[in-house]
Amino acid sequence: MKQQGRSNNFDFLRFIFALLVVISHSYPLSGNSENAQWIYRLTDGQMNYASLGLNGFFIISGFFIYRSFARSGSAWEFMKKRVLRIFPGLFIVLLLSVLMVPLVYEGNIPLLQNWEWYTYLPYNLSLYGFQGVVSGVFDGNFYHAINGSLWTIRYEFTLYLCIAVFFLFRRNKRTIQLCLLLVSLGMLWGYTFFREVLGPLSIFRLLGYNVLNLGTFFVLGSLLATFELERWVHWGFVLVLLVLLGISVYLDLYDVAKHILFTPLVLMLGFLTLPRVSKFGKWGDSSYGIYIYSFPIQQVLVHYFKPSAIILMLCSVPLSMLFGYLSWHLVEKRALIFKTKSFSKLYGKWLNLV
């Protein structure tokens, strides 16, 4: 069953995955354990909402980032698209976070003498110089980070750089498929058998465990993109994958099987014919905004009101949706006009004056 055009369910799936992260964070940020999550108890600790959301994000990203690579005429064009998708929204949330600090600051030294306040934006904008806290901010909260969601972005961007390497032999699709297959098999092997050894290792603040786990989802998503998975989407395959996933959970083997089963399941769900769901994208893609704004929103709510997990969830979800919607329409969508227009043409007159 081939799904054509842009009629798909991925905007809705990204939205759901973003909300799963918000819901999951409501537990630890309110002082509760993730053990209280319904899905955690149901699967005997094999799943939680945040991991499902992040895994889904990386699967979808891997699939469509490869498609973006295939459509791009050069590595420069490809990376320009990726930078425009990530950094404008990231810069604004970091800027707003810095401006928020005086409202919640309770440090022992004057804020203007707190060097961490000045470094917070540039360090986090660099991705690899991640700075989680500003001393004196949210010190009374259960978690002290201003935005604990941002750690995943450097993994995402690193994977973009890895895909860009394929421009060295982009005309040979078979070679790319073979590389993706070998890399995915190697990462699966490493995750399954050597994560206790490789997991704690770190380079450029990229933890081995996260590289193997999230990276495998991303690479498998890219691999399936090379085989045009949408040509083979059918409800029957989806049901089989759901049954196998359920069996893996029952046998306590989900962690072993999740990359192989969850990846095609998410992508097939994205391409199934669901007319009402496929129209969800008309509201815009607020998932990234929800993801990057939800954590500081929740931290502010905890700072002032100390809510329970359920109350935090009920308050932070609509607020995150609002900020995600505004982020898309006021920042992210507007930044994307640069994808197809050169900077020199847009700012030609200004450049000539300079």
Query: What pLDDT, on a 0 to 100 scale, did the predictor assign at position 345?
Result: 57
- Using pLDDT thresholds of 50, 70 and 90, give the confidence band for residue 2: very low
Q: Tell me the mean pLDDT in the region 237-258.
A: 97
Average pLDDT, the chain: 93
On whether residue 189 sits in a domain, the answer given is yes
Q: Given this model, what pLDDT does residue 4 score?
A: 43
For residue 77, give Cα distances in angstroms to 159, 170, 177, 211.
16, 14, 22, 25
pLDDT, residue 230, reads 86
66, part of any domain: yes
Is residue 253's pLDDT more than 80? yes
- The answer to whether the Cα torsion of 77, 83, 86, 87 is positive or negative is negative
DSSP 206: E
Whether 4 is covered by a domain: the verdict is no
Averaged pLDDT, 139-152: 97
pTM summary value: 0.93
pLDDT the model gives residue 288 = 97
pLDDT of residue 350: 38
- The runs of H, that is alpha helices, within the chain are 10-29, 38-42, 49-71, 75-104, 115-125, 151-164, 173-193, 195-198, 208-226, 235-250, 254-271, 275-278, 287-305, 309-327, 333-335, 343-346, 348-353
Q: What is the mean pLDDT of residues 19-23?
A: 98
Provide the pLDDT confidence category of residue 266 given band limits of 50, 70 and 90. very high
Residue 3 lies in a domain: no
344, pLDDT greater than 80: no
pLDDT tops 60 at residue 53 = yes
Residue 5 lies in a domain: no
Do residues 314 and 158 touch, judged by C-beta distance below 8 A? no
Q: pLDDT per residue over 271-321, tens digit each?
A: 998 888 888 888 889 999 999 999 999 999 999 999 999 999 999 999 999
Could you tell me the CA-to-CA distances from 133 to 58, 81, 122, 173 in Å, in that order?
26, 30, 13, 44
Whether residue 346 is predicted with pLDDT greater than 70 in this model: the reply is no
On whether residue 1 sits in a domain, the answer given is: no
pLDDT for 113 beyond 90: yes
Average pLDDT estimate for 321-331: 97
At which residue do the structure tokens 């990462």 appear? 187
Q: Is the pLDDT of residue 1 over 90?
A: no
| Residues with Cβ within 8 Å of residue 110, at least 6 apart in sequence | none
Per-residue pLDDT, 282: 84
How, if at all, do strands 206-207 and 202-203 pair?
antiparallel
pLDDT over 70 at 6, yes or no: no
Question: What is the number of structural domains in the chain?
Answer: 1
Range of the domain at 210: 10-353
Residue 123 pLDDT > 60: yes
Residue 213 has pLDDT above 90, yes or no: yes
